[in-house]
């Protein structure tokens, strides 16, 4: 699921950016930020920097009725939010071009705040604001070299196993008698 989301983002961004820029090799890559000043690929890099539990969903019931009218117990789904860093990793000679690319990426994210996957699932994308200390921590984790970037949260990834823990039949006729 994570890779499918990143691949879809990459493909849609690549399509969007080709309307503004001419780059035969493309501008978008999925991967970490290269360490060192000589390794800038002159691309927009999409990196997962965090996965966290979505607390608004709570914990759902483990029991659900299936098609055969039996109750099926499954472990509750995990709902996660994924933070994706869109970093403009361009060398010094092409720094201004990298800023142009990042600007178009921000326009894209504002315009397409809902990501539709080929399988029909939808995810919302929202910008995450980091203060200077959080930004410093993020880039220190990435190797220390700062590149212009924007951090976005892809909301509500649902991880739910199909493994059935147990089944139970529903009660159709009450078996309780009342003595008068």
**Rounded-to-integer distance, Cα 141 and Cα 135, Å:** 10
Q: Is residue 46 a contact partner of residue 96, using CB atoms and an 8 Å limit?
A: no
Confidence check: pLDDT of 61 > 70: no
Average pLDDT of span 104-117: 96
pLDDT tens for 153-177 read 999 888 776 656 566 665 566 666 6
pLDDT score of 56 more than 90:
no
Q: DSSP label at 136?
A: H
Considering only 53-57, 72-76, 117-121, which range has the smallest mean pLDDT?
Answer: 72-76
pTM, 2 dp: 0.81
Which residues sit opposite 169 in a β-bridge? 70
pLDDT in tens, 77-99: 888 999 999 999 999 999 999 99
Give the separation between CA 44 and CA 161, rounded to whole angstroms.
Answer: 34
36: which residues sit within 8 A by CB, 6+ positions away?
143, 145
Greater model confidence, 121 or 75 = 121
Token pair 């117990």 in the structure block, residue: 73
Q: Is the pLDDT of residue 59 over 70?
A: no
Give the model's pLDDT for residue 74.
67
φ, ψ for residue 130, nearest 5 deg:
-110, 140
For residue 135, which phi and psi values (nearest 5 degrees)?
A: -65, -45
Helices (H), ranges, 51-175: 95-111, 132-141
Query: Any idea which residue has 């220190």 for tokens?
Result: 140
* Residue-level pLDDT at 169: 61
Residue identified by tokens 């326009």 is 107
């Amino acid at each position: 699921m994570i890779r499918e989301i990143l691949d879809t983002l990459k493909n849609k961004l690549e399509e969007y950016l080709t309307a503004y820029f001419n780059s035969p090799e493309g501008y978008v890559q999925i991967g970490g930020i290269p360490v060192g000043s000589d390794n800038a690929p002159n691309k927009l890099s999409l990196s997962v920097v965090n996965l966290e539990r979505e607390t608004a969903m709570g914990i759902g019931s483990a029991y659900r009725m299936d098609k055969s009218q039996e109750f099926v117990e499954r472990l509750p789904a995990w709902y996660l939010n994924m933070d994706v860093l869109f970093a403009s990793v361009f060398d010094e000679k092409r720094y201004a071009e990298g800023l142009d690319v990042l600007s178009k990426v921000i326009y894209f994210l504002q315009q397409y705040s809902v990501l539709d996957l080929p399988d029909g699932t939808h995810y919302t994308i929202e910008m995450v604001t980091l203060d200077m200390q959080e930004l410093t921590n993020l880039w220190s984790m990435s190797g220390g070299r700062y590149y212009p970037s924007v951090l976005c949260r892809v909301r509500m990834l649902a991880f739910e196993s199909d493994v059935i823990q147990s089944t139970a039949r529903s009660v159709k006729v009450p078996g309780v008698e009342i003595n008068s």
